[in-house]
């Protein structure tokens, strides 16, 4: 299968599964269900679930067995975007080419939709038919990645410092939590679903750590092009644009090297380069 075809096939399978895991219903809670579906089903790149499915495949499992973990991770990512867009955070009005959740449903329902997705992520992961010890490890991975030692921790450091970090190391640490934690969880969840050993988990972690930082530096460069993040500590603000681009190249090569632990790494290698050059 061509790499772009594989990416599209994964994204389509995720879309169909998300729809299934989050059914619509014309009941007294139709509004909260609608608010959750509005953001979850809107067209994201689905990078995190794609990592889950592909790491499951390269680690010797069947991608479809990892789908509950993949969808759970996308639900957590989507909750974070809804809350990040709120007036009390970034106050954004557009996301994935559409009005943000609070613009459509109001701040109250946007908070509830985020809470609903976070909670539903755990029941989705628990619906896995894999052996219980794998499901338990996946739930632990999701909780750790989302919580104070992961994405939420990174977001709170960012908010507390109003986007101005004291040092390069502090910035890198904040990014590793805010953006890196869910990407690392994606790679890890795929390996867990496949029942892979510690060596595979370590290679997956190296791959996703490098891809995660490259992804975030790319985001900084995109923000710079669009005059966003003015006055904030970012990679290009600290290192300059050429050195930031060079760092993305280095990290992408590191990711490719880590992917070669697995027998069939072509798609992961391509994905690392694709994400490093993305324009959205
Ligand atoms: C509010 C608890 C809480 C956390 C928010 C993820 C996050 C933490 C904030 C998003 C800020 C941001 C734009 C970070 C840059 C990297 C990033 C996570 C971009 C969005 O992810 P994509 O590009 O989005 O994968 P799509 O829409 O494709 O899923």
Q: What is the pLDDT of residues 109-156, one digit of tens each?
A: 999 999 999 999 999 999 999 999 999 999 999 999 999 999 999 999
* Ligand 1 and 220: CB distance under 6 A: no
Nearest to 107 by CA among 121, 86, 90: 86
User: Strand ranges (DSSP E) for 72-150?
Assistant: 94-95, 98-99
From the number of C-beta atoms within 10 Å of its C-beta (0-12, 13-18, 19+), residue 280 rates as exposed
Dist CA 229 CA 251 (whole Å): 23
Closest ligand 1 atom number to CA of residue 74: 29
* CA 48 to ligand 1: nearest atom: 25
Could you say which DSSP state residue 131 is in?
-
Is residue 247 predicted with pLDDT exceeding 80? yes
Please tell me the distance between residue 131's alpha carbon and the centre of ligand 1 in angstroms. Answer: 31
Question: What whole-number distance in Å separates Cα of residue 151 and Cα of residue 128?
Answer: 24
DSSP symbols for 125-140: HHT--S-HHHHHHHHH
The DSSP H or E segment spanning 24 is: none
Least confidently predicted of 114-118, 182-186, 231-235: 231-235
Closest Cα to atom 11, ligand 1: which residue?
Answer: 84
Interval between CA 78 and ligand 1 midpoint (Å):
8
Q: What pTM was computed for the model?
A: 0.96
Q: Ligand 1, atom 7: nearest CA belongs to which residue? A: 80
Q: Which of 18, 179, 214 to mutate to test the pocket of ligand 1 (most atoms within 8 A of CB)?
A: 179
151 lines ligand 1 (CB under 6 A): yes
Report helix, strand or coil for 92. coil
Query: Mean pLDDT across the stretch 167-173?
Result: 92
Q: Write out the two tokens for 245.
A: 């681009």
39 C-beta closer than 6 A to ligand 1: no
Query: Ligand 1: distance of its center to the CA of 162 in Å?
Result: 17
52 phi/psi in degrees, rounded to 5: -60, -50
- Which pLDDT value is given to residue 1? 73
Our mutation pick for probing the ligand 1 site, out of 84, 92, 152, counting the most ligand atoms within 8 A of Cβ, is 84
Phi and psi (nearest 5°) for 95?
A: -150, 130
Mean pLDDT, to the nearest integer, of 188-213? 98
Q: Percent of the chain, pLDDT > 90?
A: 91
């Amino acid at each position: 299968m061509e790499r772009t075809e594989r990416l599209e096939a994964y994204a389509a399978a995720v879309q169909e599964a998300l729809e299934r895991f989050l059914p619509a219903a014309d009941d007294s809670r139709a509004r909260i269900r609608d608010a959750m579906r509005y953001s979850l089903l809107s067209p994201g790149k689905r990078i995190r679930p794609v990592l889950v499915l592909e790491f499951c495949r390269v680690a010797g499992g069947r991608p479809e067995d990892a789908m509950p973990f993949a969808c759970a991770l996308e639900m957590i990512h989507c909750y974070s975007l809804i809350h990040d867009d709120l007036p009390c955070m970034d106050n954004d009005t557009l996301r994935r080419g559409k009005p943000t959740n609070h613009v459509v449903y109001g701040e109250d329902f946007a908070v509830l939709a985020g809470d609903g997705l976070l909670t539903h992520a755990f029941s989705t992961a628990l619906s896995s038919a894999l052996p219980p010890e794998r499901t338990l490890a996946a739930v632990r991975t999701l909780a750790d990645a989302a919580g104070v030692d992961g994405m939420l921790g990174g977001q709170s450091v960012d908010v507390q410092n109003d986007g101005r970090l004291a040092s390069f190391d502090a910035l890198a640490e904040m990014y590793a939590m805010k953006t890196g934690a869910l990407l690392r969880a994606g790679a890890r969840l795929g390996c867990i679903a496949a029942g892979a050993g510690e060596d595979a988990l370590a290679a997956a972690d190296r791959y996703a750590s490098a891809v995660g930082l490259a992804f975030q530096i790319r985001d900084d460069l995109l923000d710079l092009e669009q005059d966003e993040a003015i006055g904030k500590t970012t990679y290009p603000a600290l290192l300059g644009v050429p050195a930031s681009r060079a760092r993305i190249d280095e990290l992408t090569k590191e990711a490719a090297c880590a992917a070669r632990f697995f027998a069939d790494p072509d798609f992961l290698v391509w994905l690392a380069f694709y994400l490093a050059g993305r324009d959205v």
